[in-house]
Structure 1
Amino acid sequence: MSTTDLYRIFDEARKQCPNPFTLKSVISSDEVWGEVMTDLPSLNQHIDERISDAIFEIRKKYSNKIGIAVKGDRGTGKSHVIHRIWKNIAQEGGSVFAYIGPCTNPKRINSHVRFYLADSFNHQDIQGVTQWQKLAAAAIKSLEESEFKDKYSQYIQRCDSPNELKKYIIASQNKDTLLSFFDELVEAILENQPGIDSDFLRALLFLLLKSVKSAQIAFAWIKGEDHPEIKKLGLPEFLIDQQEDKSIWIIQQICKLAEIALLPVLICFDQIDYAGNDSDSGDSGSQIIAKCIDKIYFQCSNVILICCVISDTWREIEQMGSGIPDRVGQRSVTAKPPTAEQIIELVKLRLDWFYKNNNLNSLDYPNLYPFNENKIRNVANQSAGVRSLMKWCAEEFEKGVIPPDKPDPPGTLEDKKKKDFLEKYNELLSNQIDIPIKDDDKLAAIISCAMKMIPDGGTENVVITKVDKISDASHDLHLTVSGYDSLHQRNIKIGIRVSEATNGKTFNAVMARLLDYKKHDITRGCLVRSTSVPKNWRVGNQLKDQLKKQQGGEVVVLKKNEIKPLVVIETIYDQAENYGFDKEEVTNFVKDLRLVANNLLICEILSAPV
């Protein structure tokens, strides 16, 4: 087939097929449970890791409840993270997951959360088992260590396969005996699990049966809906006002039962900025949801409460009193915009979908056709996020496609040197390289070197004007970074100290100097450390809390995979002549390629704590 024919076929497909860059550019609530068109696991992987760590802590009972605020502007991939969390749970188990969508009636917020949680637990994993079935089977399996083990042995041994257990119950019980069977089972389970409510447990056991009528009635009761046959299952009926009051109680029961199965309960609140305001209290939608999260936090254990917020929304929550922001955002993690390389990969994924759906071979066309890679990079560097880039791609894709009739002109000498630099950078990055993870001064020097290679336009809304090394006096700051915060329209000066101290007194001395904002005239302090401050360092933890909560500073976690690229950059810079460059060229290449500007560690240091 001639080249002309190939481009003609592509253009015909472009006209007839949906534009791949307008399809599902935003994750909806339905897609959280299904498949997304383009998901890049490396994008915001640090958030996945933070949530995985929380699940591990709850399961091991190191903590009994954790609030996590996932912050980030629209289009930075927060909802993609939620999708991946559920997908991982559906494949591997280990916890149960609920997705809470936007609430339109602030006076029924508790009932709203209860409804969505109940509905979420009806979703099936890859074995076709609902989360309700997992919990019901776990309740029955708890009889394994009880005096009722022999009586219910045939049921207990099927608990690891809830659908087999369901079939066995249906086969061994009829409509007349099913109610009394579950009543006896409830009594047996409560002998060893007295903290569970008998009515809730009875309803839960019916959910094991999935789609039979009694299960549908029990499901309506748990969701807080009316059903004419609720009393037939021996379940109490509640008025509408009572249902609102009972909602948090139902969530509490779910968390208690999940704890028996060692399954932490993840409740994820998304799109909270779309919630309706309360005209009576004057609370914004986000503040109403924050109060609900806080109530769940107080009354439940074995729970992880994830709240996805944009910066403006978080500022509303931050203004609330009674310690609500400290619990909702007990831990916080920020979604980051994709790097240029990740942007290229996202565009490629969309194009691959187009090629596949039109039986085209991507190898027959230039890389990223019909786009130019350099143009995509330029747009990516100027755009506010993935959504704006997708909009640009969608518009370009709609234009008439002109096949390239001649090869691109050879690149300039500077382009070739930049390509050579990138190859050496990637080669070093893929090799084993010594990371001085316990050398505070060396780590600080690496960060200082990197800060000087941020483009003139800045990153994380901060334009760098000056980077100063502080004297080598023991325990003092390592460096200060001066600049202008364009988001908050103010000058800033960040004092940075790296401290991997393993001695409490040394750490206290470091923190005392970091908290002395007047000495170096800093606007906020930043502690960089790879390990958490030991819980038995009472004074150290008090000083850390003072930095974060009273003086507007932050503690940034130093991760090997984030510092490694900066080690590589410093290595090439220090030995520039050996690599065939001069130092100015290295600085310019790093700026142009945004290798520092998009580095997660640097972004975390520069971004204002929210």
Structure 2
Amino acid sequence: MSCTSVSSAIVHLNAAIAAANPFERATRVTEREIWWATPPNLEGLNPEAIAAVLDAVERARKRIEPLSSLAILGETGTGKTHAIACVRQQLQRDRRGLLVYVNAGQFSDVNLIRYQFLQTVVDSFRHPGSANFMQWQDLATAIALEAFQSIYPERDRFSVDSLVNKLNRQTLSKNQTWIAQLSEAFFKIRPTLGDPDLVRALLWTLCHAQAPYAIKWLAGQVLASAKAEELGLPNRSRDYRDAQGWEIVLEIFSLATQFYPVVIAFDQLDSPENSDTGLKRERVVASLVKRIWETLPIARLNYGVVLAIAATPQTWYEKIQSLPSGIVAYLSKSVAPIRLQAIDVRGMRELVGLFLQQFYDRCHLIPPRSLYPFDSDQLDALAREELNVRELLEWCAENFRPVEVDPWEAVQIALDRAKQTVEERQLHADRRSLVAALQLALQMLLDRSIAGVTLEAVESMEARDLHDRRYVPLRAIVRTDAGSHAIGLAIVPRLNASELRATFARLLDRDRLGLDGACLLAPQIPAHWQCRQGLARFIRGDRCSYIPLDRDALTPLLALWWLHRERQQWQLGDREIVEFVRQHQFLAENPTISAILSTAIAPLPQAVEGDGDRPYFPPDRRSNPTGNDRNLLKIDESNDSP
């Protein structure tokens, strides 16, 4: 959120907060969210663990370490699964590798562990890789590209989407021929790789109509005879199950690592034991990791495999460490177990802020502060209680509710939005808007004494001649120690010589207009313009002042007028706005308003001489004496003559 953004109305923010809770489902990262959700990009949450896995991927990519394993240890709720989700996101975004996610709770039969592991591998590769295509399709495209270029080396490379679109426009017979040619060409390039049928099944995943059957075959399941023949695949035996399942796993990994590193993440080792089967999850995972180390043909791995095991310290030290030492060594061969650190107050603020930012972005709203409706003090208190990530998010879910509306805050937010509208509509250059803004501002100061001046009335010059009220539209009746005075207000938004001359003609004829003094609000007049003579004559008059139009001083006045005009939209009343103005000294401290009121007590100025004349300012209301005019309204000399 930009620091210059204008906050949304409190009523709109509270309506969104009442309608949805972004923390409700955030307390646990589910398996579905690993594949389909975008985890908060939180640099301060478990960076060491994420970096360790990605570093192992890079070593595998560079063929430094073709097979590695590491353990990630953290208490329940510290973000172990979130770390895996972040690894998947980076692999997907940067096309750095493929991910297999293994939920240790899915194993239900000691006699089918290898077969069930195959189902996990196949299901993981069914999830998105790059550009939201299946990881199977990423792998199939890499195979097709290598084979295609061996046949047609002069042809351009193609992407996953272009290949998928091409195959889905072709007839079945043409695709059968094309896939047979590519399979044959691929094995001419890589004759040492295993099963040609595996390559053929992978290529069929690129066709929408055939992909479900190809994936079913890859999972070791039986196809209808006609469908198997259509795809050119030998049918499976119903009784092979666990025996042949591991062979398919090894073939898939050997083939996949020709093109990508593969990360196999084991999670949920700490869930309740399965009382029906008696399976110990940590033992199942340990046996799978050991078998991968012992049977995966490392010499054939081009980019390598990374094994990441996430567990609680209790499971690691009390259960896994009690296994035979030969098994334990396989689970963290590359580095010592990585301990996840408790989240600190800075991390809490960042995490909660990210969830809220995503929520407000979806709702197209801008909060008044990044943690709204929470505040920093609340998170500081939670940090002292040493809450973990899950406990923090549970607290946020329970306490995410609309806050009591502060009327001043509501007005301030609406006023900030009005300032943005003033800038967008360029109201500084609009005479009617300026007149209306000044009239409203002065009316809000009626009967108030400011610097010895009390404003008694603000009158529109409607009763005057049309030409007179165009140039002197307002009259303020003010009272000082010397009595009451009528001060006329003339406004020239842009420099225009003819308008200035006409304005000076009225200001120099104040008696006819029933004025005791006058203020001219206009941009600075160049010294070489002839109408400066009118300015010199004007400011010699009693209670007469020239006030340069200052953008910074006018913006809040215009914003106040715009807010008052649109107050129903913001569900604000007159009384709230007026009280806000009084409580915050909003107008009393405005330089333009102060200069107008000071005109009534200004002493007689000295005579002004020649082109070196300076505009007259009431005492202590002078603009920057350095002559820095960056805040003055832009001079428009089009169609003007000096």
Deviation of residue 314 (structure 1)? 1.6
C-alpha RMSD of the superposition: 3.1
Which of 21, 24, 29 does residue 23 from structure 2 map onto?
21
Determine whether 1:337 maps to 2:342: yes
Deviation of residue 12 (structure 1)? 4.8
Question: Which has the larger displacement, 32-41 or 85-94?
Answer: 32-41
Alignment of 1:323-334 (within 5 A): 323-330=326-333, 331=335, 332-334=337-339
In 2 relative to 1, CA 235–356 (structure 1 residues): closer, same or farther, beyond 3 Å? closer
Which of 81, 84, 87 does residue 86 from structure 2 map onto?
84
Deviation of residue 245 (structure 1)? 2.2
Secondary structure of the corresponding residue to residue 162 of structure 2? helix
- Name 2:383's counterpart in structure 1: 380
> Which amino acid letter does the alignment assign opposite residue 310 of structure 1?
T
- Name 1:68's counterpart in structure 2: 70
> Which amino acid letter does the alignment assign opposite residue 196 of structure 2?
S
- Name 1:119's counterpart in structure 2: 123
Contact 2:118 2:245 in 1 (8 A): yes
Determine whether 1:266 maps to 2:263: yes
1: CA distance between counterparts of 2:202 and 2:272? Answer: 30
Deviation of residue 336 (structure 1)? 1.8
- Name 1:109's counterpart in structure 2: 113
- Name 2:354's counterpart in structure 1: 349
Which of 212, 216, 219 does residue 216 from structure 1 map onto?
212
String of CA shifts for 1:457-487, please: whole Å, max 9, x gaps. xxxxxxxxxxxxxxxxxxxxxxxxxxxxxxx
Contact 2:68 2:307 in 1 (8 A): yes
In 2 relative to 1, CA 69–341 (structure 1 residues): closer, same or farther, beyond 3 Å? same
Determine whether 1:164 maps to 2:162: yes
- Name 2:314's counterpart in structure 1: 312
2: CA distance between counterparts of 1:386 and 1:185? Answer: 49
In 2 relative to 1, CA 141–357 (structure 1 residues): closer, same or farther, beyond 3 Å? closer
String of CA shifts for 1:386-417, please: whole Å, max 9, x gaps. 111222333333486475999xxxxxxxxxxx
**What TM-score do the two structures reach when normalised by structure 2?**
0.55
In 2 relative to 1, CA 199–20 (structure 1 residues): closer, same or farther, beyond 3 Å? closer
2: CA distance between counterparts of 1:6 and 1:188? Answer: 64
- Name 1:238's counterpart in structure 2: 236
Deviation of residue 369 (structure 1)? 3.9
Contact 2:373 2:402 in 1 (8 A): no
Deviation of residue 131 (structure 1)? 2.1
String of CA shifts for 1:395-447, please: whole Å, max 9, x gaps. 333486475999xxxxxxxxxxxxxxxxxxxxxxxxxxxxxxxxxxxxxxxxx
Determine whether 1:394 maps to 2:397: yes
- Name 1:257's counterpart in structure 2: 255
Alignment of 1:199-598 (within 5 A): 199-209=197-207, 211-213=208-210, 215-228=211-224, 229-261=227-259, 263-274=260-271, 277=274, 283-300=279-296, 301=298, 302-315=304-317, 316-321=319-324, 323-330=326-333, 331=335, 332-356=337-361, 360-363=365-368, 368-398=371-401, 401=404, 403=406
In 2 relative to 1, CA 8–326 (structure 1 residues): closer, same or farther, beyond 3 Å? same
Secondary structure of the corresponding residue to residue 131 of structure 2? coil
Secondary structure of the corresponding residue to residue 308 of structure 2? strand
Secondary structure of the corresponding residue to residue 203 of structure 1? helix
Secondary structure of the corresponding residue to residue 255 of structure 1? helix
- Name 2:180's counterpart in structure 1: 183
- Name 1:557's counterpart in structure 2: none
2: CA distance between counterparts of 1:308 and 1:190? Answer: 38
Contact 2:26 2:393 in 1 (8 A): no
Deviation of residue 319 (structure 1)? 1.5
Could you list the runs of 5+ residues in structure 1 that have no partner in the other structure? 407-610
2: CA distance between counterparts of 1:179 and 1:355? Answer: 50
String of CA shifts for 1:18-56, please: whole Å, max 9, x gaps. 233323221111111223464413311112221121112
Contact 1:138 1:260 in 2 (8 A): no
Deviation of residue 65 (structure 1)? 0.6
How many residue pairs get matched? 388
In 2 relative to 1, CA 176–50 (structure 1 residues): closer, same or farther, beyond 3 Å? same
2: CA distance between counterparts of 1:344 and 1:29? Answer: 26
2: CA distance between counterparts of 1:134 and 1:402? Answer: 52
Deviation of residue 345 (structure 1)? 1.6
In 2 relative to 1, CA 42–295 (structure 1 residues): closer, same or farther, beyond 3 Å? same
In 2 relative to 1, CA 248–356 (structure 1 residues): closer, same or farther, beyond 3 Å? same
Secondary structure of the corresponding residue to residue 127 of structure 1? helix
In 2 relative to 1, CA 254–405 (structure 1 residues): closer, same or farther, beyond 3 Å? same
Deviation of residue 104 (structure 1)? 4.3
Determine whether 1:33 maps to 2:35: yes
In 2 relative to 1, CA 7–168 (structure 1 residues): closer, same or farther, beyond 3 Å? closer
2: CA distance between counterparts of 1:137 and 1:24? Answer: 35
> Which amino acid letter does the alignment assign opposite residue 31 of structure 2?
S
Secondary structure of the corresponding residue to residue 73 of structure 1? coil
1: CA distance between counterparts of 2:127 and 2:62? Answer: 26
Deviation of residue 311 (structure 1)? 1.6
Deviation of residue 66 (structure 1)? 0.7
Contact 2:342 2:388 in 1 (8 A): yes
String of CA shifts for 1:358-395, please: whole Å, max 9, x gaps. 554322x6x63443423321222313401112223333
Identity of aligned residues (%): 26
Secondary structure of the corresponding residue to residue 132 of structure 1? helix
2: CA distance between counterparts of 1:361 and 1:180? Answer: 57
Contact 2:57 2:261 in 1 (8 A): yes
Contact 1:32 1:83 in 2 (8 A): yes
Secondary structure of the corresponding residue to residue 383 of structure 1? coil
In 2 relative to 1, CA 9–188 (structure 1 residues): closer, same or farther, beyond 3 Å? closer
> Which amino acid letter does the alignment assign opposite residue 231 of structure 2?
L
Contact 2:71 2:338 in 1 (8 A): yes
Secondary structure of the corresponding residue to residue 49 of structure 1? helix
String of CA shifts for 1:242-289, please: whole Å, max 9, x gaps. 12222222221122212322x111111221333754877x55122112
Contact 1:370 1:401 in 2 (8 A): no
In 2 relative to 1, CA 278–239 (structure 1 residues): closer, same or farther, beyond 3 Å? farther
> Which amino acid letter does the alignment assign opposite residue 397 of structure 1?
F
Contact 1:105 1:276 in 2 (8 A): no
- Name 1:49's counterpart in structure 2: 51
Contact 1:103 1:274 in 2 (8 A): no
Secondary structure of the corresponding residue to residue 139 of structure 1? helix
> Which amino acid letter does the alignment assign opposite residue 208 of structure 1?
L
String of CA shifts for 1:288-314, please: whole Å, max 9, x gaps. 122112212222242111111112222
